[in-house]
Amino acid sequence: MVGKIGLLANPASGKDVRRLVARASVFDNQEKRAIIRRAIVGAVASAAGSGSELEFVYHNDAHGIVQQALEEFGGDIKATPVDSTQMSSALDTISAARAMRDQACDIVITLGGDGTNRAFCLGWQDAPMLPISSGTNNVFPNLREATIAGAAAGLIASGQLGSELMLQQKCISVHIEDEREDLALIDALLTNERFVGARALLKPDQFRSALLTRAEPAAVGITSIGGLLNPVDARADHGLWLEFGAAGDIVHAPIAPGYYQDVGVSVCQTLKLEQTVRCVGPGTLAFDGERERTLRDGQEAKLTISRTGPRVLDVTAALHRAAEIGSFIKPQQTQPAPKTS
C-alpha cells in the first residue's frame, strides 16, 4: 500500500509584530526547512520495514520551504506537489488543504502557529493532522521535536496505527451576515478596534467578548484568560464564553508570548457544544489570536461551537503504541560471535 503524508509549511508564520511588542519566537525559513526535513526523516524511519510505501504530498509554498527540504534527499523520496495558489496569503494554505483532502492524505504535517492551522482547516475542516509549532500562539500545534512528530505521522500513514489515536477537535463556526463563513480553532474574540491592521491582539481594554473552545491555563493567548479562571481542555464537551469589562475579575494573563496584561472579565460561563452566541459590530473579530474580519455597525456574527474540527494525532500515545508493537525493533540478522576470553 501507499501511505500519503501531506506537508505544509507556512512561510509567514512566526514573523509578525508580536516579535516586537511581545517577545514571540522568530522562525526564519531556514529553520522551517530544517524542521520539515527532520519530520521527513522521522516518517521514513517509522515506515521502514512496515511494507508500506510513503508518498509525500506537499504544498509548494512561495518560499520553497518544503521543496528545498525534499531536495536535500536527492530524489530518494517520493513527493508530489499539490495544485495550490501562489498568492503569498492564507489563500495558499486553504487551497493546498483542499487539494490534500481531494488526494485523501492519511495525515498532514503542518508547520505554523494557530493561524496557519486555522487557515488549513478552512480548506479541510476535519483533516487528520499533526501540527508542529513554528508560530506565535501555539495552543493548537505541538511543541514537539519534528523527528518524533514525523515518526508518529509515518506510523499512521504506513498503516501501523489507526485513527483511534486521533482526537477530533472542537472548533467555532463563524457566520457573518452577508459575508463568507469563517472558522476558529481555539478562540474567537470581538474587539472594538476598527481595523485588521497588523493583526496582533495587544489591547485588552478594547476586548468585548470571546468564545473559547479550550481554556488553557498553561498556554499563551486569549485562551489563557479563560484558562486562568476556569480551565477547559480539548476533551471537555463544552467551551467557555467571556465578556470583558472592569466589573468582574481582573485576570493577569499572558495574551501573547512574553506579554502579560490585566484583563477585566465580567462574564465567564461554560457553553455546551452546538450552542450559538452572537456578536454585533462595529468591531473586529479575531480568530486564534489574530484580527481577521471587521464588522460594520450593526452587522451580526453568529459563533457556534462544535466538535467538527480536525482530528489531531497524539504523538506521545502513538510512540508508546509503536513501542508496544515493536515498530522500531529490527530482527537480528546474525548471532553475535561468542566471547573467547
For residue 210, give the nearest of 192, 237, 198 by alpha carbon.
Answer: 192
Least distance from C-beta 303 to another protein, angstroms?
A: 21
Least distance from C-beta 220 to another protein, angstroms?
A: 18
Query: Which of residues 142 and 191 has its CB atom nearest to another protein in the complex?
Result: 191
Least distance from C-beta 49 to another protein, angstroms?
A: 37
CB-based burial, 10-23: b 16+ in 10 Å, e otherwise: bbbbbbbebbeebe
For residue 50, give the nearest of 88, 10, 93, 2 by alpha carbon.
Answer: 2
Q: Of 223-282, which residues contact another protein (CB under 8 A)? A: 282
Q: How far apart are CA 127 and CA 170, in angstroms?
A: 13
Query: Which of residues 28 and 237 has its CB atom nearest to another protein in the complex?
Result: 28
Query: Which of residues 103 and 206 has its CB atom nearest to another protein in the complex?
Result: 206
Q: How far apart are CA 91 and CA 282, in angstroms?
A: 26
CB of 7 closer than 8 Å to CB of 66: yes
Which grid cell sits at 211?
A: 468564545
Query: Which of residues 88 and 316 has its CB atom nearest to another protein in the complex?
Result: 88
Contacts of 261 (CB under 8 A, 6+ apart): 202, 204, 252, 253, 255
Instruction: Report the residue from 101, 194, 238, 302 that binds another protein according to the rule CB under 8 A.
Output: 194
What are the DSSP E strand ranges found in 216-282?
A: 238-256, 259-272, 276-280
What is the spatial order of strands in the sheet that 283-287 belongs to?
259-272, 238-256, 207-212, 187-191, 283-287, 290-295
Determine, following the binding rule CB under 8 A, whether residue 168 of this chain makes contact with another protein: no
Least distance from C-beta 20 to another protein, angstroms?
A: 5
Determine, following the binding rule CB under 8 A, whether residue 297 of this chain makes contact with another protein: yes
Number of residues that bind another protein (CB under 8 A): 34
Q: Hey, what amino acid is at 153? A: A
Determine, following the binding rule CB under 8 A, whether residue 294 of this chain makes contact with another protein: yes
Determine, following the binding rule CB under 8 A, whether residue 200 of this chain makes contact with another protein: yes
CA end-to-end span of the chain, whole Å?
49
Determine, following the binding rule CB under 8 A, whether residue 208 of this chain makes contact with another protein: no
Determine, following the binding rule CB under 8 A, whether residue 59 of this chain makes contact with another protein: no
Q: Of 14-53, which residues contact another protein (CB under 8 A)? A: 15-17, 19-21, 26, 28-30
Instruction: Report the residue from 92, 187, 193, 216 that binds another protein according to the rule CB under 8 A.
Output: 193
Least distance from C-beta 30 to another protein, angstroms?
A: 7
198 phi/psi in degrees, rounded to 5: -80, 5
Q: Of 75-94, which residues contact another protein (CB under 8 A)? A: 87-88
Query: Which of residues 196 and 236 has its CB atom nearest to another protein in the complex?
Result: 196
Q: Which residues of this protein are in contact with another protein, per CB under 8 A? A: 11-12, 15-17, 19-21, 26, 28-30, 62-63, 87-88, 192-200, 202-206, 282, 294, 296-297
